[in-house]
Each structure stands twice: as structure tokens, then as C-alpha cells.
Amino acid sequence: MYLARYAVECALKAHAIDRLRKTTWQEVVQHPFRPRLGLRGAAGHSLTALLTAASIDIAKDPHIHRRWQLLSPSVVSHLRYAKEERGRGEAKAFVEAATEVHDWILSQPRV
């Protein structure tokens, strides 16, 4: 589950890099218009901040917006170090949601 969420994070970072015509994530973080987003350090892993950095409006697609809700910080913040196992159904739903969101992000224009 953690890696599925990480794939979404990477897609958002790639989108932001392309949109701003940069070649590295570090260039995006240092971009004059991006410091206010607080993308440095651990904050650079916030899907909400990355969505803003990528200038993607997830609300324009109600289905994807619902899927996005499954990836919210309250749901995933503990996944990396979680010791308890997740049920197969919960894991499958999460990975499917992350896959749909990931693919949708990659399909968005980089204007």
C-alpha cells in the first residue's frame, strides 16, 4: 500500500517538473513561485501540496476525486511503518484507487 501511494507521489512530482520545464525535483522546490507551498523536506511528500505544485484540479473529475480520498493523509500517514496487517480487501481497494489516480495524473496535460 505504501508503494502504491508513493507511485502517486512520483507521478505528481513528474508532472510538476514537466509543467515548470525543469529537469529535477530540486529545481521545482527552488522555483520562485513554489517556496510558499513548503515542498522542502518531509513536506515534499504531502500529496495535497504536490497536487497544488503540479497545478492539477482533482475535483474536476468526481470519480477520481472519490478515489483520491482513499489516499488522504489520515489514511496513509502510518503505512510506511505500520506493523499491523491490512485485510486483503482493504489493500486491494487502496492499490486500485492509487492506480486509477496515478494513471489519471499521467493523462493530464502539462501546459
Q: Do 107 and 12 touch, CB atoms closer than 8 A?
A: no
- pLDDT higher than 80, residue 34: no
The model's confidence at residue 54, banded by pLDDT at 50, 70 and 90, is: confident
Query: What gap in Å lies between CA 99 and CA 30, rounded to an integer?
Result: 29
Question: Between these two residues, 79 and 67, which has the higher pLDDT value?
Answer: 67
Query: What gap in Å lies between CA 8 and CA 27, rounded to an integer?
Result: 20
Contacting residues for 25 by C-beta, under 8 A, at least 6 apart: 13, 16, 17, 44
Q: Do 1 and 79 touch, CB atoms closer than 8 A?
A: yes
Phi/psi at 24 (5° precision)? -140, 160
pLDDT given for residue 81 in this prediction? 61
Residue 71 half-sphere exposure toward CB, CA atoms < 13 A: 28
pLDDT given for residue 72 in this prediction? 72
- pLDDT higher than 70, residue 30: yes
State the CB neighbour count (10 A cutoff) for residue 95. Answer: 16
